């Protein structure tokens, strides 16, 4: 037969276990807000990373043309960044500070002819 003291100790240990693990679960859920948004064209793409609010323009063709990434915040153009070197030496980069949860959109454009992709929406 189990004593009342053993039942109480088991119940207290279980309660402590839940209290110890609850904060870890809550912090893991909060990191889900950081999203990556991409817009594509035939010779490049734009990427926005919600964690740190980074915008990238990546030119993927050695054709002498320029890829432009645009960042829209709450429906207004906030930033543009360019990459004109094909696939060499990385992407153009812009670092911003945007409040978490803000609605954003990215768009990629071809500078020479002015053509652009549609906007791809997400949150910062």
Same domain, 62 and 115: yes
Burial (CB < 10 A; 0-12, 13-18, 19+), residue 54, is: middle
Same domain, 58 and 115: yes
The pTM score is 0.71
Q: Supply the range of the domain harboring residue 55.
A: 34-123
Same domain, 27 and 38: no
The domain tally of the chain equals 2
* Tens-digit pLDDT profile for residues 73-123: 999 999 999 998 887 878 999 999 999 889 999 999 999 999 999 999 999
* Tens-digit pLDDT profile for residues 111-122: 999 999 999 999
The two three-digit tokens of residue 23, written as one number: 């904060």
* Tens-digit pLDDT profile for residues 30-70: 333 568 999 999 899 999 999 899 999 999 998 889 999 99
Given a contact cutoff of 8 angstroms between Cβ atoms, the answer to whether 102 and 122 are in contact is no
Query: 100: Cβ–Cβ under 8 A, 6 or more apart, which residues?
Result: 33, 50, 123, 124
Same domain, 40 and 29: no
Same domain, 6 and 48: no
């Amino acid at each position: 037969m189990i004593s009342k003291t053993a039942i109480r100790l088991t119940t207290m240990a279980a309660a402590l276990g839940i209290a110890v693990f609850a904060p870890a679960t809550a912090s893991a859920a909060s990191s889900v807000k950081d999203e990556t948004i991409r817009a594509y064209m035939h010779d490049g793409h734009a990427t926005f990373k919600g964690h740190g609010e980074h915008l990238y323009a990546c030119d993927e063709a050695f054709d002498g043309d320029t890829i432009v990434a645009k960042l829209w915040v709450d429906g207004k153009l906030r930033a543009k960044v360019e990459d004109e070197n094909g696939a060499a030496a990385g992407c153009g980069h812009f670092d911003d500070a945007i409040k978490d949860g803000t609605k954003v959109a990215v768009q990629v454009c071809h500078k020479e002819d002015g053509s652009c992709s549609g906007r791809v929406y997400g949150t910062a």
